[in-house]
Structure 1
């Protein structure tokens, strides 16, 4: 399969994902790849957090070389949490993320490179021979949304120095 065919497949799959996400009641926009955006990307607004801030999830297919794409697709769900880490909070955030990632049922939380931000990321492995399964994919989106909401508030409490790591770990 050539690279253009792979990108075309990704665009079709993201179109299906857009329909699934919109069916869950979330606005979603499909952005086609361009010189500024290297991969087709689906951007969806999920539930607002407890401070009523917008949370956007970006979905892209993880780039693989042609030999790797014969049997599988890797769909990445990525959400940057809507707050910044206080500069003195980094040691406590690192400690908390170890615990949070042990409790997270879907994906992991990490500090975004070159930014004082935390993101939630999950990569779903899909068979290349099948289209997205609507019910299973809807459950993944719902669980990803719920996990980032629930654990994001706890992480924010430490990242903004409102709670100690020990207090936050008791909340998990």
Structure 2
């Protein structure tokens, strides 16, 4: 997977298809990648847990996100054959859900609790500012910080 990632969804690299690839071992065990096309979560099992996540699309930004511990999934494999998976390892289930969210247009910080989001807001704003500096015509829609937010990212008075 390069860049110490364990998963990647096609939209992250500008390809508008419902495809993801993941390898829970990352670069430690290349060749163990799972490729899933048109994946769906069929059932969420085993309760939920909070865990730290990062994303290749948002370098060096980490925060806790709540995810299902176990899930049942259906998809097509790389050859177009239907597959059904029961992801009982919470780490693997988390990776799948993170990449699946990309296919739904949801980003990991969209799933953070407001208090966690506020801890990463400065880094997100800095990425937006860097993007705007390179693409002056682009428009960025920013969400207002949580009430009571102070410091960088708080509304100016």
Q: Settle same-fold status: TM greater than 0.5.
A: no
TM bucket (normalised to shorter chain) is under 0.3
Structure having the higher strand fraction is: 2
Structure having the higher helix fraction is: 1
> TM-score normalized by structure 1?
0.23
Higher RCO (C-alpha 8 Å, min separation 6): 1
